[in-house]
Structure 1
Amino acid sequence: MSKTQHWLVKSEPFKYSWEKFNKDGRTFWDGVRNYQARNNLKEMKEGDLVLFYHSNEGKNVVGIAKVVKEFYQDPTTDDANWVVVDLAPVEALKNPVSLEQIKAEESLKDISLVRQGRLSVMPLKAEEFDKILEMSTGE
């Protein structure tokens, strides 16, 4: 079995919030129109863990999701270049972790969220993922 990979996806809360995601129980992650982000979607495997980040408003990591279906054609467009994956919520973070907290954490200085602010789907190393979870517990 392949090793679980870790990711971070961004959504503006007014477009698709963590609360709406939890009500839906599952969604396909659409609207990605950046080749690097699309390539990241294509790398996602069923069972991979995903941090859910509210961009623009809030700027917080708010929850954990997991990949429940690997990439397929984005149903919102006829353009074969674009794909989606299906995600399901796992749990909300005890406390949201802000972009400021992430930027202030030396071990997270190289993550794409800090280095490529506009990228909407990005890989994380296991230790980066774990560090953000640890930060959410306030310990």
Structure 2
Amino acid sequence: MAYWLMKTEPDTFSIDTLKTQGVSCWEGVRNYQARNMMRDEMKNGDLVMIYHSSCKQVGVAGIGEVVKEAYPDYFQFNPESHYFDPKSDPDNPRWIMVDVAYREHLPLVPLAKIKARPELSGMPLVKRGSRLSIMPVSENEWDTILAMAGREPIRGY
């Protein structure tokens, strides 16, 4: 099992939205490095920290679980979609998505507190210039952030 952090803007899609839906496709990833991680490394059962970005209270807001591995992001083929990509070929799709299930809310762990922890200084999230919407999280980083939320380590649901 691996651990991940997935950024989302809560005005568009939040941990509350995921809870309401139960399971949702994680569409719209249009960065090759993030796509490659989703395609090549994310597996069923991997756990995900849902991170709220571009909002007043930026930080880790909850936990999800990958429940369907990479498959073509069908929004890339819809000309009416914000995620439409006219260069993507249905026979060789450029973009993929995974399905994520809601597991639980966490008390918000703010980015400022994450940045203040020396043991989290190696996370891509806190490195200057890192803007990936999907990033790996080590087991130690995972446990540290959960502890910051007052939660015991989680190894599966």
| Superposition TM-score, scaled by structure 2 size | 0.83
Matches within 5 A, 1:1-139: 4-42=1-39, 43-57=41-55, 58-78=57-77, 79=88, 80-93=93-106, 95-115=107-127, 116-137=129-150
How many pairs align? Answer: 135
1:117, distance to aligned residue in structure 2 (A): 3.6
Give the alignment's Cα RMSD to 1 decimal.
Answer: 1.4
Measured in 2, the distance between the counterparts of 1:73 and 1:138 equals 35
Structure 2 residue runs without a partner (length 5+):
78-87, 153-157
Measured in 1, the distance between the counterparts of 2:12 and 2:104 equals 20
Structure 1 residue runs without a partner (length 5+):
none
What is the letter of the counterpart of residue 70 of structure 1? E
What is the letter of the counterpart of residue 74 of structure 2? P
| Superposition TM-score, scaled by structure 1 size | 0.93
1:75, distance to aligned residue in structure 2 (A): 1.3
What is the letter of the counterpart of residue 95 of structure 2? W
What is the letter of the counterpart of residue 96 of structure 1? L
Q: What secondary structure is seen at the aligned counterpart in 1 of 2:16?
A: helix
What is the letter of the counterpart of residue 147 of structure 2? E
Rg larger in 1 or in 2? 2
Runs of 4+, deviation exceeding 3 Å: none
Show CA shifts across 1:6-36 (max 9, x none).
0000000011011111000000001100111
What is the letter of the counterpart of residue 52 of structure 1? I
Measured in 1, the distance between the counterparts of 2:124 and 2:28 equals 19
1:91, distance to aligned residue in structure 2 (A): 0.7
Measured in 1, the distance between the counterparts of 2:134 and 2:151 equals 25
Deviates more, 1:112-121 or 1:5-14: 112-121
% same residue: 45
1:138, distance to aligned residue in structure 2 (A): 8.1
Measured in 2, the distance between the counterparts of 1:89 and 1:131 equals 21
Measured in 1, the distance between the counterparts of 2:130 and 2:97 equals 21
